[in-house]
Amino acid sequence: MIVNGERTDVAFAPYKTLLEILREDLNLPGTKHGCELGECGACAVLLDEEPVLSCLVLGVECDGRKVTTIEGLVSDGRLHPLQEAFADLGAAQCGYCTPGFLVTAKALLDEHPNPTREQIREALAGNLCRCTGYQQIFEAVEAAVTRAQ
């Protein structure tokens, strides 16, 4: 598979999930887990640009496909505008759900560069955050849009 733009060869037991392979075999611990049952959204990554829950995807399904994790959001040593906005505006408190929110929000902005508040809510509805109450997350996504323009 192609992980964060790099061709990656990895051997693993066939029952392993993408989440386990990222964290345990590829040394990419930025992707988190909150339930391992597809309930919380903490393990979201992009698979061929689409957000997926990596705890529900088997590694063997990812052969030759593009995987983007939180570690792949920084490019040329610069944070993605979403990362800057999340850090500045209090959208990350404990930071545990943050990687999942960020990649999901990136997929949203890649498809809708100027989303409405409702579209943001809808896109992030599968990601649970117990710290923020979401409001500062919505504001950060909107600020990232403004900053990118």
Partner 1 sequence: MRIIGTPRRRVDGRAKVTGQTKFADDIVLPRMVHCKLLRSTVPHARIVRIDVSRALKHPGVYLVLTGKDFPIPYGILPVSQDEHALATDRVRFIGDPVAAVVARDELTAFDALDLIDVEYEPRHTFSTPEESLALEGIAADSGPTQNQIHEYGDHGNIHKVVSLAFGDVEKALAGSDQVFEDTFFYQGSTHLPLEQHAAVAARDPDGKLVLWSSTQTPHYVHRALAKALAMPAAHIRVIATPNGGGFGGKSDPFNHELVVAKAALLLDRPVKICLTREEVFYCHRGRHPVLMHFRTGVKRDGSITGVHLRTVLDGGAYGSYGVASTFYTGALQTVTYHIPAYHFQGCRVFTNKPPCGPKRGHGTPQSRFGQEVQLDKIAEALSIDPADLRLRIMERPGTLTANYLRVTTIGLAECIRRVVQASDWTNRFRKLPRGRGVGLACSSYLSGAGLPIYWNDMPHSGVQLKLDRSGGVTAFCGATEIGQGSDDVLVGCVAEVLGLDPMDIRPVTGDTDLTPVDLGSYSSRVTLMMGNAAIQAAERARELLADAVGRKLQIPKSRLVFADRRVFDAEDPSRGVSFAEAVSSAEALFGTIGTTGSYTPAPSAARFKGGGVGPSPTYSYSASVVEVEVDESTGWVHVPRVWIAHDIGRALNPTLVRGQIEGSVYMALGEALMEEQEFRRLPARLSNALVHKFPSMLEYKSPTTLDMPEIITELVELPDPQGPFGAKEVGQGPLLPVMPAVANAVYDAVGVRIDEIPVTPEKVVKALQAKASGKAPRFGPMRFPEVPWPETLQVPPPWEGGDGRAINAPARPTAVGVGPRES
Interface with partner 1 by CB under 8 A: which residues?
Answer: 29-37, 39-40, 42, 69-71, 73-74, 79, 82-84, 86-90, 92-99, 102, 120-122, 124-138
Dig out the tokens for 107 from the structure: 């997929």
Between 64 and 118, CB nearer to partner 1: 118
Residue type, 44: A
> Minimum distance between the CB of residue 68 and partner 1, rounded to whole angstroms?
12
CA quadruple 1, 55, 38, 70: dihedral, nearest 10: -60
Report the SS3 class of residue 66.
strand
| Closer by beta carbon to partner 1, 57 or else 124 | 124
CB of 109 to partner 1, least distance (A): 15
Identity of the residue, 47 or 138, whose beta carbon is nearer to partner 1 in the bound complex? 138
- Give the residues across from 58 on adjacent strands: 17
Alpha-carbon Rg for the chain in angstroms: 15
CA distance readout (Å), 86 to 16, 30, 76, 92, 122: 31, 16, 19, 6, 18
Q: In the chain, what is the straight-line distance between the N-terminal and C-terminal CA atoms, in Å?
A: 32
Using the minimum distance from each CB to partner 1, give the nearer residue, 10 or 125. 125
Q: How far is the CB of 114 from partner 1 (least distance, A)?
A: 18
Taking the complex as a whole, the smallest distance from the CB of residue 64 to partner 1 amounts, in Å, to 25
Please identify, using beta-carbon distances, which residue of 15 and 64 lies nearer to partner 1. 15
List, in sequence order, every residue forming a beta bridge with 115; answer none if it has no partner: none
**Cβ of residue 15: shortest distance to partner 1, in angstroms?**
9
